[in-house]
Structures are given as C-alpha cells and as structure tokens.
Amino acid sequence: MIAPEITTEGAVLNRVQMARISAVGTAVPKTLMTNEALSKFVDTSDEWIVTRTGIRQRYVAKDGETASDLGAEAAKIALAKAGVSAADVDLIIVATITPDMVLPATACLVQHKIGASKAWGFDLNAACSGFLFALQTGVQYVSNGVHKNVLVIGAEIMSTIIDYTDRTTCIIFGDGAGAVLLQQSTALEGGCFIDFLHEVDGSGGEFLNLPGGGSKHPTSHETVDKRMHYIHQDGKAVFKFATLKMSEICLRLLTRNGLTGKDIDLFVPHQANKRIIDAAAERIGAPPERVLINVDQYGNTTAGTVPIALNTALETGRLKKGDLVLMATMGAGFTAGAALMRWGY
Ligand code: UT7
C-alpha cells in the first residue's frame, strides 16, 4: 500500500487503496410501475414526471418483500459472478434506510439468507450516500489486509416509506438493490480505489427526513395520523443542494488528484433526477456520453442507485477494465460523497 500524503485540511491525497470491485449483482422487484400507472392514483402525468425528473418507470415490491430479500438476491448474483462461496465472505455491510426491521440489522438477515457462515456485518445509514459511504468503509477492511471478501450492498424498499398521496415525493422513488464484492487488488492494472471525499452537513436535516418512529417521535397513533412515517422533502432545497454539492465535491476530488472531468471514462452519479445529473456533469466537465444515467428505468432507489448504475454500465458495455470511474452521491442528512476508482475487470 502506498503511504498517504496528508494535507493541512486532513485530506488523504493520492492514497491508492488496494481493493477493487470484483463483481456486481442487482435485484429489483418484478412489479413495474410506469408513470402512466402512477397517474391513475395521484395527480400527475407522464409528461410532467419525464420533463422534471427524467424518470419513466420504477419497480415496486410486493407486500412482504424486504430489503434483505433484494439484498441477498443481489449478493448471491455478485458472489456467483466472482466464483466466491458465501462461506468465504468475511464482512457484509448493508446501506439502507428501509431495513426489514429496526433490529436486527439487515446485514444479519442477509448473512443468514445467503449462508455466509463466517461473516460479521452491520447496517449503515447515510440515505442516498449510503452505498458510497459503505463502499469506502469496506475498502478499508480489504486494503488494510484484514479481510479478503467484503460484500457491500445498497438495498431499499422505498415504497414502504413513500406517501402515495404526495405527488412531490412518490414519483421519484423506486425499490431495488445492488451488491458489490470487494477483494484485494494484486496490481494497479487490476483495479483499485484511488481516493474519496465524503461529507455530512446536519443542518440540511430539515429538508429531507422521515420524522416518525425514532426516539424523537416514537410511533403512536398521532405520528401515523400525521403521516410522519413517510418521507418528507422540500424538493427545491434538496435539488439546489444536490446540484451544487455533487459537482463541488467531485471537482475537489478531481483537482486534488491532478485530474479534470475530461479525464474520467465514466461518471456514475446518484440517480435521483436527470436534471441534477446533467447539471452536475456539466459543472464537472464530464462529456454527456461518459455519464451513466438509468434513472429513467429505476427511479431513485436511494442506496441502490450507484451499484445498479454500475451494473447497467457493465451490461451495456460502457465499463471496461482500466477505466477511470468517478462516483458521486448526495442525500438526506445532508450527506455527500465522491469516490474515484480504476475499474478492474
Ligand atoms: O436522493 C435525494 C432525494 N431527492 C432529490 O434529489 C429530489 C430533488 N428535487 C427534485 O427532484 C425536484 O424538486 C422535484 C422533482 C421533487 C420537483 O420538481 P420541481 O421542478 O422542483 O417542481 P416544484 O416543486 O417547483 O413544483 C412545480 C409545480 C408546482 O405547481 P405550481 O405551484 O407551480 O402550480 C407543483 O405543485 O409542479 C407541481 N408538481 C407536480 N405536478 C405534477 C409537483 N409535483 C408534481 C407532480 N406532477 N408529480
């Protein structure tokens, strides 16, 4: 491992982290909900949704289908692709804001479902930045040599926390999961993580939250009557933050690695709104043909968006060995993250 250079701001510069993604798996529910179908029970239209968000459809879980179901399915696919047995998994990190239950952690349920008999694990909540935060956490365990096989999963059943009478939120979200397997990288050309920059700003909490059911507002008839068990969002404030922050954090990450947007082979941003992605890509200077967009197909699957987008990139031949990949997210918190990696297979 190359020794990190630390700046006066505490940033870790040019630290090549000897971990790589060696497989990706995804899982979405079978039920497809088009904009047309949504417009049958909420006052909206396909035209409005497509124009304002770029979303055309999303998948929604059937009753009883859980984050651990989708997470386990995605994990099994990733393990099969890598030819790794579940019994050889060391650690499972699940990023989710829609855990099956408050406890136990969804990671425990995934561990049991896939038969990862020797693994430990935990959940991580950073909303839409959850997958990138979990990924960076997993990278630490692999690159420091502690673990050989780490599963990082983003899994959400957003349809369980969406108010389908609120047209400003229900049109955006979808259900889905993505899993990646992290393994040690034997050589730089075999893929590696290069650098990351993650942030939280709790002053943004008022603009995007789910207030009911926690220690501040324990579930009661009153919290349910007030619909506090659903996501509440100030769309405009979130939009503004997302547009500015995703580009700002990416530019800082690129600059401190001596790169510009033109050096990136593929930009894989959080998929919440095509207008946010377009604005961020333009500010970063990433050419449109190098920007992965699949929000039209899946909507915003929160912690699921980045691994599902990586899978889309692989399936459509837009990601190949050696590519320089920039991933970026923003979400409730506010949280924001960016990570640079060299794709390894
Ligand atoms: O992962 C992070 C989570 N969230 C996000 O990233 C979301 C960020 N925000 C957004 O994507 C956008 O703000 C939204 C898609 C949520 C809303 O789009 P907007 O362009 O900011 O619309 P708006 O809230 O300014 O509303 C414009 C108009 C309003 O009508 P009036 O007051 O101008 O008559 C709304 O009532 O559009 C109306 N409107 C709708 N009309 C049809 C709001 N939602 C809808 C809808 N269908 N679904």
Sketch out the chain's domains with CATH numbers. Answer: 4-188 (3.40.47.10), 192-342 (3.40.47.10)
What totals of helices (H) and strands (E) does the chain contain, helices first?
11, 15
Contact 34, 56 (CB under 8 A): yes
Q: Is 289 exposed, middle or buried (0-12, 13-18, 19+ CB in 10 A)?
A: exposed
Q: Which pLDDT score is estimated for 186?
A: 77
Cα(159) to centroid(ligand 1), Å: 18
Contact 311, 24 (CB under 8 A): yes
Q: Which pLDDT score is estimated for 14?
A: 47
Q: How many CB atoms within 10 Å of residue 186?
A: 12
Q: What is the DSSP secondary structure assignment for residue 2, as one 8-state letter?
A: P
Q: Which pLDDT score is estimated for 338?
A: 98
Whether the link from the prior residue into 307 is cis, omega within 30° of 0, is no
Q: List beta partners, residue 27.
A: 177
Q: Which pLDDT score is estimated for 16?
A: 67
Q: Which residue out of 125, 236, 306 has the highest number of ligand 1 atoms within 8 Å of its CB and is therefore the one to mutate?
A: 236
Q: List beta partners, residue 266.
A: 325
Q: Which pLDDT score is estimated for 190?
A: 77
Cα(239) to centroid(ligand 1), Å: 9
Query: Which ligand 1 atom is at minimum distance from the Cα of 128?
Result: 1
DSSP letter for each residue of 10-40: -PEES--B-EEEEEEEEE--SEEEEHHHHTT
- For ligand 1, atom 16, the nearest C-alpha belongs to 235
Q: What three-state secondary structure class fits 122?
A: strand
Closest of 298, 290, 300, 296 to residue 238, by C-alpha: 300
Query: Which ligand 1 atom is at minimum distance from the Cα of 53?
Result: 15
Cα gap 268→261, rounded to integer Å: 12
Q: Structure pTM?
A: 0.95
Contact 306, 152 (CB under 8 A): no
- SS3 string, 281-338, reads HHHHCCCHHHECCCHHHHCECHHHHHHHHHHHHHHCCCCCCCCEEEEEEEECCCEEEE
| pLDDT averaged per 10 residues in sequence order, the chain, 345 residues | 44 66 97 97 97 98 97 98 98 98 98 98 98 97 95 98 96 98 82 94 96 97 97 96 96 96 97 97 96 98 98 97 96 97 93
Q: Which residues are catalytic?
A: 128, 270, 300
Q: Which pLDDT score is estimated for 91?
A: 98
Q: What is the DSSP secondary structure assignment for residue 173, as one 8-state letter?
A: B
Q: Which pLDDT score is estimated for 123?
A: 98
> Angle CA(306)–CA(62)–CA(301) in degrees, nearest 5?
15
Q: Which pLDDT score is estimated for 188?
A: 64
Cα(205) to centroid(ligand 1), Å: 19
Query: Which ligand 1 atom is at minimum distance from the Cα of 305?
Result: 1
Q: What is the DSSP secondary structure assignment for residue 164, as one 8-state letter?
A: T
